């Protein structure tokens, strides 16, 4: 049976959202998904898309997806960040994930990107082994930093801690 990879279209949005939710459940955070069909339409298929998505088709049916976006390194130039790579559990081990990753790498090379990067949870041994097998380099000395929700809003609207207008004290914050 053959795997084909194709660009996602807006008709794929319900399946993309289902895969996002399945991946979040696998990663033990199903409640974290706030994406909607409307937000995926706007952010991936509107006039200024923030991401691009590839769909894997195996034996005539959708089998997985890869969702990525372009980023930029001041050290080496343009790159691609692979946000999600997901293959339906019953179809894992058939080369579908590798085909998706290969297509993202091909896009990176065609667009002059200098690197492809992604994150993996430290307990996800099957993914870690897969990424090692395809030549992934683990950067253990780097720590992922994330800001969202109230902290992001605080920083954007008040400058966060140490701003010129005074420092923010989380114990005196009444916005929580």
Q: Which CATH number fits the domain that encloses residue 76? A: 3.40.630.30
pLDDT band at 176 (very low <50, low <70, confident <90, very high): very low
Q: Which of 19, 58, 65, 131 is catalytic?
A: 131
Q: What is the DSSP string of the chain?
A: --EEEEE--GGGHHHHHHHHHHHHHHTT-GGG----HHHHHHHHHSSS-S-EEEEEEETTEEEEEEEEEEEEETTTEEEEEEEEEEE-GGGTTSSHHHHHHHHHHHHHHHTT-SEEEE---TT-HHHHHHHHHTT----TT-------HHHHHHHHHH--TTBTTB---GGG----
Domain count, the chain: 1
On the question of pLDDT at 37 being above 90, the answer is yes
Domain that holds residue 75: 3-163
> Looking at residue 162, what is its pLDDT?
53
Please state, rounded to an integer, the average pLDDT across all residues of the chain.
92
Query: Is residue 172, in this structure, part of any structural domain at all?
Result: no
Query: Is residue 175, in this structure, part of any structural domain at all?
Result: no
What is the pLDDT averaged over residues 44-66? 97
pTM for the full model?
A: 0.87
Query: Is residue 70, in this structure, part of any structural domain at all?
Result: yes
| pLDDT tens, position by position, 72-104 | 999 999 999 999 999 999 999 999 999 999 999
Query: Is residue 77, in this structure, part of any structural domain at all?
Result: yes
> Looking at residue 1, what is its pLDDT?
86
Query: Is residue 150, in this structure, part of any structural domain at all?
Result: yes
> Looking at residue 158, what is its pLDDT?
86
| Residue 131 annotated as catalytic | yes
């Amino acid at each position: 049976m053959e795997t084909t990879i194709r660009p996602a279209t807006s008709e794929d949005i319900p399946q993309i959202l289902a895969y996002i939710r399945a991946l979040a459940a696998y990663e033990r955070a199903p409640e974290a998904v706030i994406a909607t069909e409307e937000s995926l339409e706007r952010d991936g298929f509107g006039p200024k898309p923030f991401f691009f998505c590839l769909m894997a088709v195996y034996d005539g049916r959708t089998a997985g997806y890869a969702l990525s976006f372009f980023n930029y390194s001041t050290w080496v130039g343009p790159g691609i960040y692979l946000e999600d790579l997901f293959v339906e559990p019953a179809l894992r081990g058939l080369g579908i994930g590798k085909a998706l990753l290969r297509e993202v790498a091909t896009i990176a090379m065609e667009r002059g990107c200098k690197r492809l990067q992604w994150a993996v949870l430290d307990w996800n041994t099957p993914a870690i082994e897969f990424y090692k097998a395809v030549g992934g380099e683990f950067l253990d000395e780097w720590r992922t930093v994330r800001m969202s929700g109230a902290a992001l809003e605080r920083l954007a609207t008040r400058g966060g801690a140490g701003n010129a207008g005074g420092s923010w004290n989380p114990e005196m914050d009444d916005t929580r």
